Structure 1
Amino acid sequence: MIKNKSSTGWRNNNNKASLSEVFSSVSVPQKKGIWKKVFAFTGPGLLIAVGYMDPGNWATDIAGGSKFGYMLLSVIFISNFFAIILQHLALKLGIVCERDLAQACRDHYPPFINFVLWILCEIAISACDLAEIIGSVLALKLLFGLPITWGVLITVIDVLIILFFQSKGFRYIEGVVAALIFTILICFTFEIISSKPDILPILRGIIPDLEIIKNSHSFYISIGILGATVMPHNLYLHSSIIQTRDYPRTDEGKKMAIKYATIDSTLSLSLAFFINAAILIISAATFHKSGHTEVADIMQAHKLLTPILGSSLAGVFFALALLASGQNSTLTGTLAGQIVMEGFLNIRLKPWIRRLITRLIAIVPAMIASIIYGEKGTAELLIISQIILSIQLIFAIIPLVCFTGDLDKMGIFVNGPILKISSWLITIIIIFLNLLLLYDIFNNFFLGRG
């Protein structure tokens, strides 16, 4: 049991530790240099960054680059800025209140509201897991020629891999994630060098262009990029895993933890920005430049990369990055599922049971779609998963912004006027764009496909 002395605005001030098996398990040097503290706090940000480079984000980046060249780089940049602010709020909530977002909701809202929030969050995590399965399955098909149905079954095995690393300690999980991100980084560095993009158009693309709003197609792709920016489970995840650090639970200790955790989060999300930007740049430099402006999905992109770039390794590195992305997202989705169930319901299951439930919920629709519709079915499921995530995002951001702006709950760490206004403005923009995205997807996918 931990007692939160910094805030009094909660019904229960004797809260169970979030992820109690790894709570305060990573040592933080108190009298060492700055760089050792930076290293001690490095890790949670990388796990969060994974959500910004998962297979669900690839299609919008590919479509944006092939259709409009480098113009939508500014949208990725703005999206990343939004993410940095919201993840800062999530880590601050965890450090100051010693609660993850799910626990905070349980301590604030009545039981019925909490139950609804939990159901929505479980659906979102399963949808996210579905996107990860599809990404891994497509990568296995591209790398080894495995049928879609076999690929779906193989993804069950990662349950055992995750449990193995969980038993070794939290730093091992962070190490695996870092290695997979490094793999993605190497792959896309190779792709960028091979595609030989134009530097000046890239720099111009970072500056917002009014044409993005004037052109309805570019506007909707922009909404897709922005709408899928912040993954709802990342907010629950970050507010929990930051508590794995063994910093002093005093006001001074929390100030130090917020400072270094924000450095970790900002740098990690900057890396995610590079990878997302790289996907769009490669798409612009290869497909848009060669006249293939209608490339809009992962399989199309892989098929065209090798002949356009003239290198057989281009397709291999692309598929390898996709596989690493899918497996990375699986790791973070597992942890988020555990945090959400324990936080909202105070129910603690064995990790392998929790993981198996989440994976089976996602595997069933993936298997049915792959058997009946093949690749087309999995692509449509990817779209559906993004719809579900967009809906859930609204129910995660609003509580987070409310809690961190509450003086009774946050005490001296409450959001200042500038941060409070910025966070609410970002919330309103993301909600508005998500609603537009949902309308557009529903209009085109459900009403227009016939």
Structure 2
Amino acid sequence: VIMPHNIYLHSALVKSRDIDRKNKNEVKEANKYYFIEATIALFISFLINVFVVAVFAEAFYGKTNNDMNQKCNETGLLPKELFPHNNETLQVDIYKGGIVLGCIFGPAALYIWAIGILAAGQSSTMTGTYAGQFVMEGFLNLRWSRFARVLLTRSIAITPTLLVAIFQDVQHLTGMNDFLNVLQSMQLPFALIPILTFTSLTS
């Protein structure tokens, strides 16, 4: 959810726009459209997150493990021993969340959830790749071919993912996801301070 590298990606996209930066009117007009563009994107993202929270609240609030066992047994989607047979409050993670949605809203919800998770992963990987490309070109002053940049950044991005997929069970992915979100939130100052410093320079 929290991706500090997107700060560099957004800045690089703005920098790539072809405007006369010595003309104050052009810069002012460009900033207006940048603001509109970012506002629309963030608003759509906000709506999607509201819908996700609303659906999850409807599916999970007040449910117990026994409730979910009964519901999933009716649909035949429940893997063995996924939820214990007790009246404790239902606890879900990324894996269980998809199963629960499928049990309550039908199999289509299960596939929609899976496609959403896949799309989120692809989006995160692509933004990380582009941000890494801009950082290499700017801070490190590297001018590699597109093939070399894609090969390096994709390899760096996919290697840990492959290792996790091979050696970890699917039930442990939520803990890793939570850890990564905490880690990236701690990295926000290290992304914000340099870019604010550089963009505040007068020359």
TM-score by length of 2: 0.76
Structure 1 gaps of 5+ residues are 1-56, 58-227, 411-450
Which one of 253, 275, 279 corresponds to residue 52 of structure 2?
A: 279
Counterpart position of 1:301: 97
TM-superposed CA distance for 1:401, in Å, is 3.7
Asked if 1:409 corresponds to 2:182, the answer is no
Backbone CA RMSD of aligned residues: 2.3
Alignment of structure 1 residues 147-166 onto 2, 5 Å: none
Alignment of structure 1 residues 344-423 onto 2, 5 Å: 344-404=139-199, 406=200, 409=202
TM-superposed CA distance for 1:305, in Å, is 0.8
Counterpart position of 1:314: 109
Query: 395-404 or 347-356, which moves further after superposition?
Result: 395-404
Residues 328 and 271 of structure 1: is their aligned pair in 2 closer, same or farther, counting only changes over 3 Å? same
Distance (whole Å) between structure 1 residues aligned to residue 156 and residue 111 of structure 2:
30
Asked if 1:246 corresponds to 2:39, the answer is no
| Off by >6 Å, runs of 4+ in structure 1 | none
Counterpart position of 1:259: 32
Distance (whole Å) between structure 2 residues aligned to residue 355 and residue 390 of structure 1:
26
Distance (whole Å) between structure 2 residues aligned to residue 320 and residue 254 of structure 1:
40
Contact 2:94–2:173 (Cα < 8 Å) also in 1: no
Distance (whole Å) between structure 1 residues aligned to residue 52 and residue 16 of structure 2:
32
Distance (whole Å) between structure 1 residues aligned to residue 152 and residue 186 of structure 2:
22
Contact 1:237–1:339 (Cα < 8 Å) also in 2: yes
Distance (whole Å) between structure 2 residues aligned to residue 400 and residue 380 of structure 1:
31
TM-superposed CA distance for 1:403, in Å, is 4.6
Query: 361-370 or 323-332, which moves further after superposition?
Result: 361-370
TM-superposed CA distance for 1:347, in Å, is 0.8
TM-superposed CA distance for 1:328, in Å, is 2.3
Distance (whole Å) between structure 2 residues aligned to residue 336 and residue 323 of structure 1:
20
TM-superposed CA distance for 1:280, in Å, is 1.3
Distance (whole Å) between structure 2 residues aligned to residue 260 and residue 376 of structure 1:
44
TM-superposed CA distance for 1:270, in Å, is 0.8
Distance (whole Å) between structure 1 residues aligned to residue 148 and residue 176 of structure 2:
25
Contact 1:403–1:409 (Cα < 8 Å) also in 2: no
Distance (whole Å) between structure 2 residues aligned to residue 360 and residue 384 of structure 1:
22
Structure 2 gaps of 5+ residues are 66-88
Contact 2:125–2:157 (Cα < 8 Å) also in 1: no
Distance (whole Å) between structure 2 residues aligned to residue 371 and residue 401 of structure 1:
40
